[in-house]
Amino acid sequence: MNEPIVYGASYSVYTRIVRLALEEKRVPYQLEEIDVFAEDGLPTDYLARQPFGKIPAFEHDGFRLFESGAITRYIDETFEGPALMPEPVHEWARANQIISILDSHAYRTLVWDVFVERIRVPQKGGDADEGKIASALECAETCLDTIESLMGDGSYFLGNFPTLADVHAAPMIALFRQAPEGKELIQKSVRWIEWWNRMNDRPGMINTRSELET
């Protein structure tokens, strides 16, 4: 089998989710840089890989795929290495539920409305929208509390090994905690602190760390 190719950027949360799945499976891969925010726009042929113009896209042995949730499940099923979904059906359903919460509620709130607004906007000379941050923090708290209520008793969300749910969450939390308010919310929960410290020390997280993290 050829090495899979991830088309994306090292700063991107969703690109990192796909890379982390590959890292956890210990699958060598190539990262083809696509800067989705480039002034000149996306390479002309990129929309053939991802018609919505988002990153990442993925290719393996001629099989093209986009949507990170589909890509990480493909990686888990296709490659050898530790299983990244729990087998008991209740934990399996919980992992899917957490991934859905992260996609539907956490990504925009934690990454765009808190991290980008608090850190990136001022870095680029703008003024943070305090109203946006304040209301996002309420939703962020609901996200964190809800995911915590779904966690099992193990070292990771759903047992003693990371699943695709952990892999989906870690890149979002990594940016959220760059904002002082984000860090403070995480620090309020021992479960979240312990989880973050464990996840952040994993080789995959270290290998995919970007310059956005201090």
Ligand X SMILES: N[C@@H](CCC(=O)N[C@@H](CS)C(=O)NCC(=O)O)C(=O)O
Q: Output 29 or 159, the one with its CB closest to ligand X.
A: 29
Is the Cβ of residue 34 or residue 133 nearer to ligand X in the bound state? 34
DSSP-assigned letter for residue 30: E
Three-state DSSP string of 140-160: HHHHHHHHHHHCCCCCECCEC
Minimum distance between the CB of residue 6 and ligand X, rounded to whole angstroms?
11
Please identify, using beta-carbon distances, which residue of 19 and 54 lies nearer to ligand X. 54
Measured CA to CA, the distance from residue 82 to residue 77 in angstroms comes to 10
Q: How far is the CB of 188 from ligand X (least distance, A)?
A: 26
CB of 102 to ligand X, least distance (A): 10
Q: Which is nearer to ligand X, 69 or 81 (CB)?
A: 69
Distance from C-alpha of 163 to C-alpha of 156, rounded to nearest angstrom: 8
**Residue type for position 189:** S
Q: Which is nearer to ligand X, 107 or 157 (CB)?
A: 107
Can you tell me the distance from the alpha carbon of 107 to that of 115, in angstroms, rounded to the nearest whole number? Answer: 10
Query: In which element (H, E) is residue 82 found?
Result: none
CB 150, CB 97: distance < 8 Å = yes
Helices (H) and strands (E) in the chain, counts: 9, 4
Q: What is the C-alpha separation between 154 and 161, in angstroms, rounded?
A: 8
Question: Which amino acid does the sequence have at 124?
Answer: K
Q: What is the DSSP letter of 54?
A: -
Q: Smallest distance from the beta carbon of 181 to ligand X, in angstroms?
A: 21
Positions in the binding site for ligand X (CB under 6 A): 12-14, 36, 54-55, 67-69
Q: Between residues 189 and 210, which has the closer beta carbon with respect to ligand X?
A: 210
Output the six-digit token pair for 101: 């919460």
Shortest Å distance, C-beta 8 to ligand X: 8
Query: Cβ of residue 154: shortest distance to ligand X, in angstroms?
Result: 26
